[in-house]
Amino acid sequence: MIYLQPHSGLANRIRVIVSGLAFSAKQGHPLIIYWKKDSGLNCDFHDLFRTSEKLDVRQYDVRILILDRFKNKGPLKKIFD
């Protein structure tokens, strides 16, 4: 598995995703993209792009991950569910 978390503005995210897709194809490992809205781009992935069955994009909110970390005092499990 290859995990990818693009950040910042739209152009930076597209560049990282394209690189991740190429690397994933070359290595023969599936790619999982963790998309987070932030100050650079406050928009959901699915509002910008159409997806295919081959692309695994998971939306998450970092505030939920931080609260989960303090609540369970364990690893950040939500992003790996």
CA angle 39, 43, 44 (to 5 degrees): 130
The rounded distance, in Å, linking the Cα atoms of 28 and 49 is 24
Which 3 state secondary structure label does DSSP give 39? coil
Alpha-carbon span 50 to 46, nearest angstrom: 6
| pTM for the predicted model, two decimal places | 0.71
* The amino acid at 63: R
Q: Is residue 39 a contact partner of residue 18, using CB atoms and an 8 Å limit?
A: no
pLDDT in tens, the chain (81 residues): 899 999 999 999 999 999 999 999 999 999 999 999 888 999 999 999 998 888 899 887 666 555 555 555 555 444 444
